[in-house]
Chains A and B, each alone.
Chain A
Amino acid sequence: MLTNIWNNIIEWFKDRSEKAQLIRSFNDSAKNAFITNQAPTLLKAKISKGEKSYRHQFSNWLNTGFRIQAFSGRQLSKEEIKQIGEVILNDNILVRRLIVLGWDTLEIHGDKGNYGLRWQLKDYIPLPQ
C-alpha cells in the first residue's frame, strides 16, 4: 500500500510536468506558425475546468479541460472551430496523450463572441476497461 502511495505521488508530479510541457510545446508551435505567417490565427492552449459528465478512468480530480483559444479578432464560424477540433481529434497520439495526462474535455473557442465547441475525448479512443 505504501509503495502504491509513493508511486502515485511520483506519477502525479511527472504528469503535472508533462502536462505543462505539452501546453508549452503547443503554444510555442502556434506562436512560431503565426510569426512565420504559416497560420493566419494565433492559437493558445490552456487548462480549463472541463465537463464533469465527460469523465473517464484517467481523469484528474480538477481542471480536466484542454482549451484552445483562437485569437482571430473576429467571431469564428462553427465550421472553422470544427475544423480545428477535427484536426486535433484525428491525431491519435495527441488524443491518447491528452487522455492519459488527465484531460477529458477538448474545448475550442475564439476571442470574440461567446460561441465555442466542446468534445468528449473518450469518444475518440477505445480505453482499457
Chain B
Amino acid sequence: MNDTLFTDTIKATSEVVTKTDAATTNAVNYWMWIAILELVIIVLLILFRKKPDSKKEQFKREAKQGDIDFGNIINSSFHVKPLYDELKVKCHPDRFPNDIEKNKIALAIFQEISKNKTNYKKLIELKESAKQKLNINF
C-alpha cells in the first residue's frame, strides 16, 4: 500500500512540475516578445524623428547656435558705463570740424560706439581704433 501511495505521489508531483515548467516558458516568451516590440518601436522612433521644419523650430535651432561670451557680459555689467562716457566725448565728430577725413572716421566710430554702448569688449576695440585713426590720447 505504501508503494502505491509513493508511486501516486511521484506521478502527481511530476505532473505539477511539468505544468509549472510549461507555464514559466510561455511567460518568458511573452515578455521577451514585448521587449522586442518595444525595442523595434524605439528604433523606428529614432529613425523617423521629425525634422525641424516649422518657423518656431527653426528659430529655436538658430537661437541655440553661437557662443555666449559670459566673461564679456560680466565685465560689461560693471565697467562699460565709464568707458562709454569717455569714448562718446573724445570720439565725437564735432571735435574734428576742420579735418573732413577725420570727421568721417569719427562719425563712423561714434555710430559704432552708440550701437555697442553695453559691449565692453567692442568698446575697447573701438578705443584702440580711435587711438590709431584719430590720434586721440586717452
CB of B60, distance to nearest CB on chain A (Å): 4
* Segment from A31-39, A59-67, A111-119 that makes contact with B: A31-39
Contacts A6-B45, A97-B64 known; A25 to B70 CB distance under 8 Å? yes
| A21 CA / B59 CA spacing, docked (Å) | 20
Q: Is chain B's interface secondary structure helix, strand, loop, or mixed overall? A: helix
| A33 CA / B74 CA spacing, docked (Å) | 7
Q: Does B19 contact A (CB under 8 A)?
A: no
Is there an interface contact between B75 and A100, defined as CB atoms closer than 8 Å? no
CB within 8 Å of B: which residues of A? 2-4, 6-7, 10, 18, 22, 25-26, 28-30, 32-33, 38-41, 43, 57-58, 83-84, 86-88, 90-91, 93-94, 96-97, 99-100, 127-129
CB within 8 Å of A: which residues of B? 45, 48-50, 55-56, 58-60, 62-64, 66-68, 70-71, 73-78, 80-81, 117-119
